């Protein structure tokens, strides 16, 4: 800076133009900004802001000197003789000027003939603008300051925190006298307006995953407000100097550490973006975290974001406590908020008071929060505390208890399973809040259900079920931030904690199921075909009672509403309700539900199998989308993969004949296969089992087991019959079986997509061939078949596609099978 001063002295000596002086300053300022990251790396949060403030002070002092020399030449008077002063306002006045924030400058003067001060002021402003600095300026006479302050609360606030930079100390003394008058003017109105302003900013900028560090909850404006009101009442220069009855030294130390961290974060935010920026966007976190000194990894970014949220909560907590103390003589408490105040110093009793008041919405007053903080408590909750905690979830407004505990930073103490997710960020692009805040908001929406249909479902639950569901809703994401899947970790944490609260073991099992599958309903509703039988059965297989389905529906509603505004909307609400209603219908199909559940378990095993993992993603997806459950129920993972791989290679048809212990024929076909003809040609052989499974790409898989082993020379004949079975002109003579009507059952309401035919009759030669042939002639498509013969009795089940040909012709089918046609 000395070099710059020398250059300017030389320019002044040469009577250089103002823009030449501005160029020197501009070059120096650019060099200064280019090296700010290096300075930031070795400087603390507030110290960095002070250094930056002092740098701007130096520039302004030089410009003042230039203007003074330009106006008076070598006969410049003493500074105190010139009735003009430069005053810093706002964050600049507090020596908290951030890198790209506006520099709020006020020029104060007195009208004295002969000084031509307006010309001097213009010269200073022109040079300032030419330097490229972002100046926000005000120009006032000392006499008008008081009246100006009455025009706008923001102006009054700025004047209250003003700081002298350069010029006449006499003018500054007069300015201070005016500010003192301003400070004492209608303190009550000033406080009320500033508190109202804070309330509006908090609603506009809540504590989300992308917080506004300046205007939002727990931001710098909260800390500033303590200073502004403290200044107005006690004329202190910083929060630390407020009376100890208001600001406790230990509290201030915690507060100051948080504030110092946020100072660094905001400075890094300005440096990383190269502009004035107060919103910590998710995409900026990697660069900000790096500047602040965190490890360049996802874990490092998580720790950084968690620290930001924690610091904002600390500022919120202590600023609330101190503001209430500062303003208690000036502000009437809002009776509509139903504040509660401490009646005891015992921690467990205080928790009991929270519980007792949760019969309706309430807010813990700052005195209550502070008493919670200082009350003696055991190192961890004991049996006495757990009894009190259990009561929380039986109250209609548990949210307000949890919110009070969160506000006082005691949530992870009182409810240990939430410990790891307090302040934990969620970088999924979906959640708007840290995990603990999302969890509390989910409870809020559970207790404030706006959907009448879901509300009625909730009211069908008894008090124990409601309490369990509230606890589930609060802990559903408690497993996040671990290496294991958070669904399973969360369920384990819930189980342990619920046992401590002595919740009924059966309800604990229900709670575990709900947490295991708490994202399933929204995922299925929004990503899957809700008119697919497979989809509905797969979903409903996890929730096999109406009550369990109702609970997952209610939990999904609360969870989605807790994510953020408009996440749960009319569109996805319809989808989720459709899934719920269709799942209710599916509950009547217990066999199919059991099969769907077994299939899901098989799919989970399959997904881990090396043979499956060796396939391409496209091939894996095709296998998982196979409509037939039979394939998954009957075969091991390696066999399913082998069948699928054969299917990937099949152009028209492929078959395999095995004749070790008994004759088995496996066939995969793409084109029409005359199964009736094939079986008719082999009526001398008893079919003991047949599987028919739809695969993918219009392929079908057949596996037919016969009761005996055939001679080797018969294999060639069977191969010929197989080939001929793909010739539609081939026919075989079939014998009419003897079937009684009572041995035949047809159910066209088996499910939305499939009808079912069940046959329990005497085993007869050609029975199966006759039935299959009849279906082929009528254009009836068999989705899957279970053919089973034991002790000369057949127990055959056919699942049939509802394409109109079956259910519209049931009488005809019965007549054909019973010989009445």
Same domain, 460 and 410: no
Same domain membership, residue 156 and residue 207: no
646, exposed or middle or buried, with CB in 10 Å at 0-12, 13-18, 19+? Answer: middle
Same domain, 672 and 809: yes
Is 643 inside any structural domain?
A: no
Backbone angles phi, psi at 271, to 5 degrees: -65, -40
Question: b vs e for 329-339, b when ≥16 Cβ sit within 10 Å of the residue's Cβ?
Answer: ebeeeeeeeeb
- Does residue 599 form part of some domain? no
The predicted structure's pLDDT at residue 69: 84
Other Cβ atoms less than 10 A from the Cβ of 373: the count is: 15
Tell me how many domains the chain contains: 5
- The answer as to whether 756 is a domain residue is yes
In a domain, 770, yes or no: yes
Q: Are residues 763 and 800 both part of a single domain?
A: yes
Task: Give the tokens for residue 753.
Answer: 């997509």
CB 423 within 8 A of CB 436: yes
Task: Tally helices (H) and strands (E) across the chain.
Answer: 37, 14
* Side-chain half-sphere exposure of 352, counting CA atoms within 13 A: 11
DSSP per-residue string spanning 591-651: HHHHHHHHHHHHHHHHHH-HHHHTS-HHHHHHHHT-S-SHHHHHS-HHHHHHHHHHHHH-S
pLDDT at res. 358: 95
Cβ proximity of 32 and 283 under 8 Å = no
Say whether both 738 and 754 belong to one domain. yes
Q: Are residues 358 and 328 in the same domain?
A: no
C-alpha 494/C-alpha 513 separation (Å) is 11
Q: What CATH number has the domain bearing residue 46? A: 3.30.460.10
Residue 817 near residue 737 (C-beta atoms within 8 A)? yes
Closest CA to 423 of 311, 513, 279: 311
Q: Rounded distance, CA 304 to CA 310, Å?
A: 10
Nearest to 131 by CA among 50, 20, 57, 55: 20
Per the structure, the complete domain to which residue 100 belongs is given by: 2-185
Judgement on whether residues 805 and 656 belong to the same structural domain of the protein = yes
Q: How far apart are CA 682 and CA 669, in angstroms?
A: 19
Same domain, 263 and 340: no
Q: Look at residue 320 and tell me if it is in a domain.
A: yes
CATH number of the domain enclosing 305: 1.20.120.330
* pTM, two decimal places: 0.79
**CA 733, chain centre distance (Å):** 66
CATH number of the domain encompassing residue 663: 3.40.1020
Q: What is the pLDDT of residue 114?
A: 74
Same domain, 256 and 218: yes
Residues 162, 19 share a domain: yes
Task: Let me know whether 201 and 136 are in one domain.
Answer: no
- 632 is a domain residue: no
| Torsion region of 488: left, alpha or beta (phi above 0 gives left; psi -120 to 50 gives alpha) | alpha
Do 137 and 54 share a structural domain? Answer: yes
CA distance 498 to 467: 11
Q: Are 583 and 537 in contact (CB under 8 A)?
A: no
645 occurs within a structural domain: no
- The per-residue pLDDT for 803 is 66
Return averaged pLDDT per consecutive 10 residues of the chain, 821 residues in all. Answer: 81 82 91 90 87 94 90 78 94 92 94 85 92 92 93 90 95 95 92 94 95 96 96 92 94 96 95 94 95 94 96 97 94 84 94 95 95 93 93 96 97 96 92 96 97 96 97 97 93 97 96 96 89 81 92 97 91 91 81 74 89 92 84 86 92 90 90 83 81 86 88 90 84 78 85 80 80 82 72 78 79 84 62
Neighbours of 497 (CB within 10 A): 23
């Amino acid at each position: 800076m000395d070099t710059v001063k020398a250059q300017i002295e030389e320019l002044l000596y040469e009577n250089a133009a103002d823009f030449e002086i501005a160029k020197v300053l501009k070059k120096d300022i650019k060099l200064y900004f280019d090296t700010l990251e290096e300075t930031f790396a070795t400087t603390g949060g507030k110290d960095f802001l002070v250094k930056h403030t002092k740098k701007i002070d130096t520039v302004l002092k030089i410009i003042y000197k230039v203007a003074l020399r330009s106006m008076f030449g070598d006969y410049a008077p003493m500074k105190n003789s010139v009735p003009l002063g430069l005053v810093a306002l706002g964050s600049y006045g507090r020596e908290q000027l951030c890198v790209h924030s506006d520099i709020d400058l006020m020029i104060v003067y007195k009208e004295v003939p002969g000084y031509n001060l307006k010309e001097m002021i213009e010269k200073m402003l022109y040079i300032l603008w030419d330097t490229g600095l972002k100046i926000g300026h005000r120009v006032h006479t000392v006499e008008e300051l008081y009246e100006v302050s009455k025009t706008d609360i923001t102006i009054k606030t700025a004047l209250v925190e003003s700081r002298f930079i350069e010029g006449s100390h006499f003018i500054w003394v007069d300015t201070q006298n005016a500010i003192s008058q301003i400070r004492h003017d209608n303190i009550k109105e000033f406080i009320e307006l500033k508190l109202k302003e804070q309330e509006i900013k908090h609603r506009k900028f809540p504590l989300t995953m992308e917080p506004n560090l300046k205007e939002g909850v727990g931001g710098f404006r909260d800390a500033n407000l303590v200073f502004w009101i403290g200044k107005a009442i006690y004329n202190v220069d910083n929060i630390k100097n407020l009376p100890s009855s208001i600001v406790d030294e230990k509290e201030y130390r915690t507060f100051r550490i948080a504030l110092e961290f946020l100072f660094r974060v905001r400075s890094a935010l300005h440096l990383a973006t190269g502009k004035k920026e107060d919103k910590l966007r998710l995409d900026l976190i990697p660069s900000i975290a790096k500047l602040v000194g965190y490890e360049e990894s996802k874990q490092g970014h998580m720790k950084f974001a968690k620290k930001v949220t924690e610091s904002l909560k600390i500022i919120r907590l202590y600023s609330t406590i101190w503001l209430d103390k500062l303003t208690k003589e000036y502000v009437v408490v809002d009776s509509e908020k139903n504040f509660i105040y401490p009646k005891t110093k015992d921690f467990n009793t205080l928790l009991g008071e929270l519980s007792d008041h949760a019969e309706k919405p309430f807010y813990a007053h700052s005195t209550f929060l502070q008493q919670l903080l200082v009350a003696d408590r055991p190192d961890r909750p004991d049996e006495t505390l757990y009894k009190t905690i259990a009561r929380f979830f039986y109250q209609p407004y548990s949210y307000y208890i949890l919110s009070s505990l969160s506000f006082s930073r005691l949530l992870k103490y009182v409810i240990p399973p939430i410990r790891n997710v307090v302040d934990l960020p969620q970088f999924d692009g979906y959640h708007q809040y840290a995990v603990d805040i999302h969890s509390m908001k989910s409870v809020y929406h559970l207790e404030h259900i706006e959907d009448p249909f879901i509300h009625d479902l909730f009211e069908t639950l008894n008090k124990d079920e409601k309490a369990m569901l509230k606890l589930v809703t609060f802990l559903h994401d408690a497993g996040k931030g671990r290496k294991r899947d958070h669904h399973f970790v969360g369920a384990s944490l819930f189980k342990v904690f619920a046992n401590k609260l002595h919740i009924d073991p059966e309800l604990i099992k229900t709670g575990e199921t709900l947490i295991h599958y708490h994202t399933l309903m929204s995922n299925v509703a929004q990503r899957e075909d809700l008119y697919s039988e497979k989809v509905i059965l797969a979903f409903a297989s996890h929730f096999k009672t109406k009550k369990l389905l109702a609970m997952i529906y209610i939990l999904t509603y609360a969870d989605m509403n807790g994510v953020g505004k408009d996440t749960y909307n009319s569109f996805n609400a319809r989808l989720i309700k459709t899934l719920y209603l269709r799942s209710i219908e599916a509950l009547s199909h217990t066999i199919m539900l059991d099969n769907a559940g077994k299939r899901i378990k098989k799919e989970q095993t399959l997904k881990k199998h090396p043979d499956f993992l060796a396939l391409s993603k496209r091939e894996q997806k095709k296998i998982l989308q196979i409509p037939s459950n039979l394939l998954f129920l009957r075969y091991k993972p390696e066999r399913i993969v082998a069948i699928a791989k054969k299917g990937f290679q099949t152009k028209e048809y492929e078959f395999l004949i095995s004749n070790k212990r008994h004759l088995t024929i496996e066939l995969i076909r793409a084109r029409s296969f005359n199964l009736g003809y094939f079986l008719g040609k082999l009526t001398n052989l008893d079919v003991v089992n047949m599987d028919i499974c739809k695969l993918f790409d219009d392929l079908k898989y057949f596996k037919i087991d016969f009761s005996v082993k055939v001679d080797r020379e018969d294999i060639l004949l069977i191969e010929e019959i197989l080939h001929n079975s793909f010739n539609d002109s081939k026919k075989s003579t079939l014998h009419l079986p003897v079937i009684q009507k009572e041995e035949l059952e047809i159910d066209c309401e088996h499910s939305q997509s499939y009808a079912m035919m069940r046959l329990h009759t005497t085993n007869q030669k050609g029975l199966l061939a006759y039935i299959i042939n009849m279906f082929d002639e009528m254009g009836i498509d068999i989705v899957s078949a279970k053919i089973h013969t034991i002790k000369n009795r057949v127990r055959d089940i056919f699942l049939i596609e509802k394409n109109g040909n079956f259910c519209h012709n049931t009488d005809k089918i019965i007549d054909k099978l019973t010989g009445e046609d």
